[in-house]
A and B are shown apart, each in its own frame.
Chain A
């Protein structure tokens, strides 16, 4: 596969690539925003909502501990959701473009 044979601009303007770009961008930014907001809620809550964090809900286990543990669950869930979407959708869309890469715009 020689690099000269590929017309990158043609792939870039191909509707399938544009579709991949659009889907990926909105999905990634959404997840990124969600994870950032959820993460920073922890230090902010620990500093400014201490009364809430101190409420005991499960024996001596309080809201703060459950919230900190939930950070782990949320991080893992985001990783799982992303990899599922990428494995079942993005990879297949990219594969179709790769297959035609040499034909486009030559």
Chain B
């Protein structure tokens, strides 16, 4: 009954505060009822799942690992659900719609990451672990010390990822349907807490599966609609995409003055060629390393392997996950290019500069446009799936943090592994509540903050701290407690430290000068020759000359103020109504730009340095993995070699035999 009350309370709170939905959003006001109806149906389904799951969630193994009764295929769908967060499902389609080839290239690393999970992590972790990453590390190392460090790292990684999801989700919901940021963060938080606290891993798993199935179905339908007019021919379809004027205009904008010498056909073709978005290959490789090694160290992904009955099922689940995730990314190629051709990059970026609205806007267009019932139903459906995605991903992350807090710290360290079943489950539920409330608070506090770097940071810390520790303890005989602790601490501190001094942070000087350029315009710039770099060191740190490409000459650009004055003068003499309307629209657009620049000028007035006291980035890559990952591995190895740990050596035979054979692995619950 408690759950039903929660549902009723939440539904009432969510739907009755209509004042919060007053303004804005991609959905027109007259169609909002439909959006909420679709939201309501999806929320009702997930609540029914939670209600059902809560009845069979009593023991620790049921709460953390769904009684190890999830099948390989089900777990595969749930992993896909965990992984296809809003960032990847809306973000990648958006990047493709704005930057073509580079956006698609960006998606590849997210799939390749699962090869590491499949080959070296999934099965051994299933055979050795119980509920958390801490269990795996504590197997042969000092249990208390490693559990503390593992829990800290789990909570750090999850919090970074969680904050990015909360802030991204709040902004997304506001953009889509105009609900206030705070209300959508609280809504996501309460729903997610209901799943986790009452239904534990079982509810979380089935919510993920439901969401993943909805997401794949919606994408398949959209791709079918986009691609079928071209008889499902790839060249014919892409030919139509790059012949579109909106796409050509976007490429011309991205190419700047270099576009002047190119034909329309060349500009269109450029959309399918690399280099429009990802300009720094070293940064690319650094990101690739963080993805390929970080995914396998993500606590909420690791935790999924404890929910299946055996190592074989863990293997099956990765295969399914790879099929679904990869297939989905192939679909995003069509979603992204389709949105570019049908909706247009300018309109997509106009609503959200990151391109997150590409998928939803494409859905609206394919249903019949902004004024049609079906178009708005499609949009409502995609918006609801996006909402379910955020809630489900956050639920998985909260469960991972809560298990680190309750199972590793409270039960493992404070209680010395002596706690009754009941006590453990209560601890798990209380921890979920604490983490969940923390997530809501952090989400609200971080409103308007730059959180884009947090996802990269989460992967970098997972790859530099968790992965070296888990990998070496599983595969290297000499690995020991000191090595694990030193490696995890130094790896994560290095990753976080490098990001703090990287271009991801906000540098007031740069923001101010950009805002001034917007307002007052830029003087003409003479062409500059390319500058050769002075070696790899200079590409990574601001200590010497970095390689710079040649810059063609640029004519002076007028500022927004000057442009506005010009437009107003035109407006005064314009007679044609249509022309007047167009000029007024341009002025309104300029006003938006001016307000933003004025806001920046005011916000950063008098500030000269970033949070870390830097005027400009010292570390030049956005992704720290290239340095922090090898450092994490090196520290585990060095500190293991210079210290001795009798227990770690004695337990090696048992660990190695067990991880390869599954003897004595935690079994499935028998009901």
B274–A53 CB distance below 8 A = yes
Beyond A68-B104, A101-B663: 18 further Cβ-contacts under 8 Å?
A8-B658, A17-B660, A39-B109, A43-B284, A43-B288, A46-B275, A47-B274, A50-B274, A53-B273, A59-B238, A60-B239, A64-B101, A65-B272, A68-B101, A80-B319, A82-B119, A87-B312, A97-B661
Closest B residue, CB atoms, query A54: B273
Binds A, one of B110-118, B156-164, B414-422, B499-507: B110-118
B662 contacts the other chain (Cβ, under 8 Å)? Answer: yes
> How far is A53 from B272 in the complex, measured between Cα atoms in Å?
10
A98–B661 CB distance below 8 A = yes
Which residues of chain A come closer than 8 Å to B319, judged between CB atoms?
79-80, 83
- Please provide the chain B residues from 643 to 667 with a CB less than 8 Å away from any CB of chain A in the complex: 653-654, 656-658, 660-664
A6–B272 CB distance below 8 A = no
B657–A8 CB distance below 8 A = yes
Closest A residue, CB atoms, query B238: A60
> How far is A80 from B319 in the complex, measured between Cα atoms in Å?
8
B281–A75 CB distance below 8 A = no
A68–B115 CB distance below 8 A = no
Which residues of chain A come closer than 8 Å to B40, judged between CB atoms?
none
Interface string of B488-531 (1 = CB under 8 A from A): 00000000000000000000000000000000000000000000
Interface size counted on chain A using CB atoms at 8 A: 53
Interface string of A2-16 (1 = CB under 8 A from B): 010010110110000
B119–A46 CB distance below 8 A = no
Binds A, one of B22-30, B171-179, B323-331, B462-470: B323-331
- Please provide the chain A residues from 33 to 82 with a CB less than 8 Å away from any CB of chain B in the complex: 35-36, 39-40, 42-44, 46-48, 50, 53-54, 56, 58-62, 64-65, 68-69, 71-72, 75-76, 78-80, 82
Which residues of chain A come closer than 8 Å to B104, judged between CB atoms?
65, 68
B661–A61 CB distance below 8 A = no
Which residues of chain B come closer than 8 Å to A62, judged between CB atoms?
269, 272-273
B285–A72 CB distance below 8 A = no
B239–A59 CB distance below 8 A = yes
B661–A39 CB distance below 8 A = no
Closest B residue, CB atoms, query A29: B119
A35–B112 CB distance below 8 A = yes
Which residues of chain B come closer than 8 Å to A40, judged between CB atoms?
285, 288
Closest 5 CB pairs of A and B: A59-B235, A47-B281, A46-B274, A43-B284, A8-B654
User: Could you write out 16 A-B pairs with CB less than 8 Å apart?
Assistant: A9-B653, A32-B120, A39-B112, A40-B288, A42-B108, A44-B281, A44-B285, A46-B274, A46-B275, A48-B281, A72-B326, A79-B114, A79-B319, A82-B118, A98-B661, A101-B663
Which residues of chain B come closer than 8 Å to A9, judged between CB atoms?
653
Interface string of A85-96 (1 = CB under 8 A from B): 011000100100
Which residues of chain A come closer than 8 Å to B254, judged between CB atoms?
none
User: How far apart are B660's CB and chain A's nearest CB, in angstroms?
Assistant: 6
A24–B654 CB distance below 8 A = no
Which residues of chain B come closer than 8 Å to A56, judged between CB atoms?
269
B285–A65 CB distance below 8 A = no
Assuming A6-B664, A94-B662, is B108 touching A72 (CB within 8 A)?
yes
B661–A64 CB distance below 8 A = no
Interface string of B93-124 (1 = CB under 8 A from A): 00000000110110011011011101110000
Contact of A60 among B105, B272, B663 (CB under 8 A): B272
Closest B residue, CB atoms, query A74: B112
Closest A residue, CB atoms, query B280: A47
Assuming A43-B288, A47-B281, A83-B319, is B272 touching A3 (CB within 8 A)?
no
Which residues of chain A come closer than 8 Å to B274, judged between CB atoms?
46-47, 50, 53, 64
Interface centre among B104, B114, B657 (most CB of A within 10 A): B657
User: How far apart are A15's CB and chain B's nearest CB, in angstroms?
Assistant: 14
Contact of A59 among B236, B316, B654, B664 (CB under 8 A): B236
Which residues of chain A come closer than 8 Å to B284, judged between CB atoms?
43, 46-47
B contact face: mostly helix, strand, loop, or mixed: helix
B330–A72 CB distance below 8 A = yes
Task: Say which size band chain B's interface belongs to.
Answer: 35 or more
Which residues of chain A come closer than 8 Å to B664, judged between CB atoms?
1, 3, 6
B661–A31 CB distance below 8 A = no
User: How far apart are A92's CB and chain B's nearest CB, in angstroms?
Assistant: 12
B322 contacts the other chain (Cβ, under 8 Å)? Answer: yes
A21 contacts the other chain (Cβ, under 8 Å)? Answer: yes
User: How far apart are A37's CB and chain B's nearest CB, in angstroms?
Assistant: 11
Which residues of chain B come closer than 8 Å to A20, judged between CB atoms?
660
> How far is A36 from B115 in the complex, measured between Cα atoms in Å?
9
Which residues of chain B come closer than 8 Å to A72, judged between CB atoms?
108, 111, 326, 329-330
Interface string of B325-344 (1 = CB under 8 A from A): 01001100000000000000
B242–A11 CB distance below 8 A = no
Assuming A42-B105, A43-B281, is B272 touching A64 (CB within 8 A)?
yes
B577 contacts the other chain (Cβ, under 8 Å)? Answer: no
B234–A61 CB distance below 8 A = yes
Which residues of chain A come closer than 8 Å to B292, judged between CB atoms?
36, 39
A60–B242 CB distance below 8 A = yes
Interface string of B205-219 (1 = CB under 8 A from A): 000000000000000
User: How far apart are B385's CB and chain A's nearest CB, in angstroms?
Assistant: 23
B44 contacts the other chain (Cβ, under 8 Å)? Answer: no
> How far is A60 from B236 in the complex, measured between Cα atoms in Å?
8
Closest B residue, CB atoms, query A7: B653
B641 contacts the other chain (Cβ, under 8 Å)? Answer: no
B101–A65 CB distance below 8 A = yes
Assuming A8-B653, A64-B101, is B109 touching A75 (CB within 8 A)?
no
B234–A75 CB distance below 8 A = no
B119–A98 CB distance below 8 A = no
Closest B residue, CB atoms, query A97: B661
Contact of A78 among B115, B278, B315 (CB under 8 A): B115
> How far is A98 from B329 in the complex, measured between Cα atoms in Å?
40
User: How far apart are A24's CB and chain B's nearest CB, in angstroms?
Assistant: 7
> How far is A80 from B326 in the complex, measured between Cα atoms in Å?
14
Assuming A83-B315, A98-B661, is B108 touching A64 (CB within 8 A)?
no
- Please provide the chain B residues from 317 to 376 with a CB less than 8 Å away from any CB of chain A in the complex: 318-319, 322-323, 326, 329-330
B661–A94 CB distance below 8 A = yes
> How far is A4 from B106 in the complex, measured between Cα atoms in Å?
50
> How far is A91 from B660 in the complex, measured between Cα atoms in Å?
9
Assuming A43-B105, A44-B285, A98-B662, is B119 touching A11 (CB within 8 A)?
no
A17–B657 CB distance below 8 A = yes
- Please provide the chain B residues from 281 to 309 with a CB less than 8 Å away from any CB of chain A in the complex: 281, 284-285, 288, 292
